[in-house]
Chains A and B, each alone.
Chain A
Amino acid sequence: MRTLALVRKELASYFAGPLVYVVIGAFLCATGLQFYTTLNSYVTIGFGLNILDHFWEEFFVNYIAFYLLIVVPLFTMRLIAEERRLGTIELLYTYPLRDREIMVAKFAACLVVFLLFVAGTLLYPAIVYAIQPFDPRPFLARYLGTVLFLASCIACGLFISSLTESQVIASSCTFVALLLFWILTWNEAAVSTSLVTVLSQVSTFDHFHAFATGVIDAKDCLYFVFFIGLFLFLTLRSMESRQWRGRR
């Protein structure tokens, strides 16, 4: 109940300013352009069999997930850092709210905003389906993966936002952190095969890639759930640190 009140307040703050509308617009323009050009190139050149499956795989990994990765820090940077800089966090900490309620509300509200981004991308499969119907089941995996990946990015950004009062530091550090987790295994040639095996277990890219091909694997789901849980746990510890540091 109290958590829900905080979620509503957070959402009211998001939609009071132009940021959400502008960024959703930019995100849909960018992914829309990529949808058109990538689909065109796949159809004209054609890469062997399963042209559409390969197209969706590339589209989700390289464009939807990657553009979300770029946009998430813009929203998570303010979650706690802004409240600390303004001092409003003192209100929240002295209201009858537990730290974990504050954290969950902030996480949930941010996720709700990003679900709007994801909902916008439903347009692309809908367009293709209207031209040529296909089996929609792989999209369950693709969208589940997208939401899990998104929640992981938000959890990571929430944690970094709780460490600083500066939104610039929060957003740049979050972007670097998310990018690192994403490109961890990209240069396979540079490291030994055994190290690549280890890195691919940690990399968000590799786990998301499985979803993008249309497969739901418990291992990948667990990975993202663990990723989210870890960063929420760290956020809570960071919020509690005021008790021994004496600062907000």
Chain B
Amino acid sequence: MIAVEGLVKDFGRTRAVAGVSFHVAAGEIMGLLGPNGSGKTTIMRILTGFFPPTAGNVAIDGLDVERHPLAVRERIGYLPENVVLYPDLTVVRFLRFCAEVKGVPASARRARLDEVIAACGLTEVAGKLIGKLSKGYRQRVGIAQAIVHRPRVLILDEPTVGLDPRQIIEIRTLITSLAGSTTVLLSTHILPEVSMTCGRVIIIDYGRIIAEDTALGLTQRVRGSDETRVRVVGPRPEVLAALATVTGVDELREEAATDGAVTVVARSTRGDDVRRDIAALVVGRGWGLVEMRPLAMSLEDLFVRLVRDDRDAAA
């Protein structure tokens, strides 16, 4: 449904996208993961026909974006980053405009608007000015305008940024409910987000794809190096010595002590087994186990690793 081949985009002397190729099958949810400034938004803007690529081919539903811009845009729903909408229009008025422009037939328009407003949880604020809405509601209006014409392809640029946890869950549910009927490409720099919503993930950095994987594969990569933070109340040298003896602890890193407890981060590949052993050890010696928490691998860590792997492979 989305086919990108050898995509390059230059802004003056800066190369924002340097030869990106990927395919997204119909009905698939694909995540585009990368730090800020990695080229996610540029790729999405090219897909939507906002500006043309410097080189390479982009096709949506078999149609070349440059040669059939209008036909492509009719098939796309796009939520730009930091969604900004017309503050002086009401929600209904704005969505009606979107439906008109995007070719929702007049006879079906009212029903479709009601449907979208309900699906995005906008019923209570439908008559309010967009400028008076909270960030969460505005984001939902942004999604509503993207899906109002039942697009075959949905392109969402950081759909959950700036929302509170409850709203994030709602938006995720909405996106996953579209899977199957709609092809979704969404960008994010939040790692758990992709594993929760996306089937496949592309990781980009400096305008290049540095990894392409399933969400499961990515999660396993992250699991691959598990870190556990342990806070123990006990004599510091003995605690450190004892923890180092636990089988499976590859590396032990002490953090600055607060309120008298020894705080250590243990790196291991054994996951929960290590935590069980550590707990048994600490309790067995009669020390106080104040905190034990698996540290999720942050996106930064993953990037550092992926970039390192990438360079190793190149060398």
With A91-B145, A93-B50 known as contacts, the answer to whether A98 contacts B80 (CB < 8 A) is: no
A5–B101 CB distance below 8 A = yes
Contact code string A74-118 (vs B, CB < 8 Å = 1, else 0)? 000000000000111011011111100000000000000000000
B103–A13 CB distance below 8 A = no
B88–A16 CB distance below 8 A = yes
Binds A, one of B68-76, B211-219, B231-239, B297-305: B68-76
Contact code string B66-90 (vs A, CB < 8 Å = 1, else 0)? 0000100110101010101111110
- CB of A50 closer than 8 Å to a CB of B: no
With A91-B80, A97-B101, A246-B11 known as contacts, the answer to whether A13 contacts B48 (CB < 8 A) is: no
Chain B residues within 8 Å of A16, by CB: 88-89, 129
A5–B49 CB distance below 8 A = no
B85–A88 CB distance below 8 A = yes
A17–B88 CB distance below 8 A = yes
The minimal Cβ–Cβ distance linking A243 to chain B, given in whole angstroms, is: 5
25 contacts between A and B (CB under 8 A): A5-B97, A5-B101, A6-B97, A6-B101, A9-B89, A12-B93, A13-B88, A16-B89, A86-B84, A86-B86, A86-B87, A87-B80, A87-B84, A88-B85, A88-B86, A91-B145, A93-B50, A94-B45, A94-B76, A94-B80, A95-B73, A95-B102, A96-B102, A243-B51, A246-B51
Chain B residues within 8 Å of A96, by CB: 70, 73-74, 101-103
- CB of A137 closer than 8 Å to a CB of B: no
- Which residues, 1 to 43 on A, are CB-close (under 8 Å) to B? 1-2, 5-6, 8-9, 12-13, 16-17
- CB of A219 closer than 8 Å to a CB of B: no
- CB of B98 closer than 8 Å to a CB of A: yes
Sample of 8 more A-B contacts, CB < 8 Å, known A2-B103, A9-B94, A93-B50: A1-B100, A12-B97, A86-B86, A87-B80, A94-B49, A94-B76, A96-B102, A242-B51
Separation of A8 and B129 alpha carbons in the complex (Å)? 17
A246–B100 CB distance below 8 A = no
The minimal Cβ–Cβ distance linking B79 to chain A, given in whole angstroms, is: 10
The minimal Cβ–Cβ distance linking B94 to chain A, given in whole angstroms, is: 8
Contact code string A154-187 (vs B, CB < 8 Å = 1, else 0)? 0000000000000000000000000000000000
- CB of B152 closer than 8 Å to a CB of A: no
With A9-B89, A95-B98 known as contacts, the answer to whether A246 contacts B9 (CB < 8 A) is: yes
With A16-B88, A86-B84 known as contacts, the answer to whether A94 contacts B93 (CB < 8 A) is: no
A94–B51 CB distance below 8 A = no
**Residue of B at shortest CB range from A86?**
B84
Contact code string B101-122 (vs A, CB < 8 Å = 1, else 0)? 1110000000000000000000
**Residue of A at shortest CB range from B48?**
A94
Separation of A97 and B85 alpha carbons in the complex (Å)? 17
User: Measuring CB to CB, which residues of chain A are less than 8 angstroms from any residue of chain B?
Assistant: 1-2, 5-6, 8-9, 12-13, 16-17, 86-88, 90-91, 93-98, 242-243, 246, 248
- CB of B52 closer than 8 Å to a CB of A: yes
**Residue of B at shortest CB range from A99?**
B69
Chain A residues within 8 Å of B129, by CB: 16
User: Measuring CB to CB, which residues of chain B are less than 8 angstroms from any residue of chain A?
Assistant: 9, 11, 16, 45, 48-52, 70, 73-74, 76, 78, 80, 82, 84-89, 93-94, 97-98, 100-103, 129, 145
Separation of A51 and B115 alpha carbons in the complex (Å)? 65
Q: Nearest 5 A-B pairs (CB), nearest first?
A: A5-B100, A87-B84, A9-B97, A94-B48, A16-B88
B101–A95 CB distance below 8 A = yes
Separation of A205 and B56 alpha carbons in the complex (Å)? 52
Most buried by B among A2, A9, A86: A9
Separation of A246 and B12 alpha carbons in the complex (Å)? 9
Separation of A98 and B145 alpha carbons in the complex (Å)? 19
Chain A residues within 8 Å of B74, by CB: 96
B50–A94 CB distance below 8 A = yes
Chain B residues within 8 Å of A246, by CB: 9, 11, 16, 51
Separation of A48 and B105 alpha carbons in the complex (Å)? 64
Separation of A9 and B88 alpha carbons in the complex (Å)? 10
Most buried by B among A16, A243, A246, A248: A246
The minimal Cβ–Cβ distance linking B186 to chain A, given in whole angstroms, is: 16
**Residue of B at shortest CB range from A92?**
B101
Separation of A90 and B45 alpha carbons in the complex (Å)? 9
Instruction: Give which listed residue, A5, A91, A98, contacts B70 with CB less than 8 A.
Output: A98
**Residue of A at shortest CB range from B98?**
A95
Most buried by B among A13, A90, A91: A91
Chain A residues within 8 Å of B84, by CB: 86-88
Chain B residues within 8 Å of A86, by CB: 84, 86-87
The minimal Cβ–Cβ distance linking A247 to chain B, given in whole angstroms, is: 8
The minimal Cβ–Cβ distance linking A103 to chain B, given in whole angstroms, is: 15
Chain A residues within 8 Å of B94, by CB: 9
Chain A residues within 8 Å of B88, by CB: 13, 16-17
Separation of A95 and B16 alpha carbons in the complex (Å)? 24
A13–B73 CB distance below 8 A = no
**Residue of A at shortest CB range from B84?**
A87
Chain B residues within 8 Å of A9, by CB: 86, 89, 93-94, 97
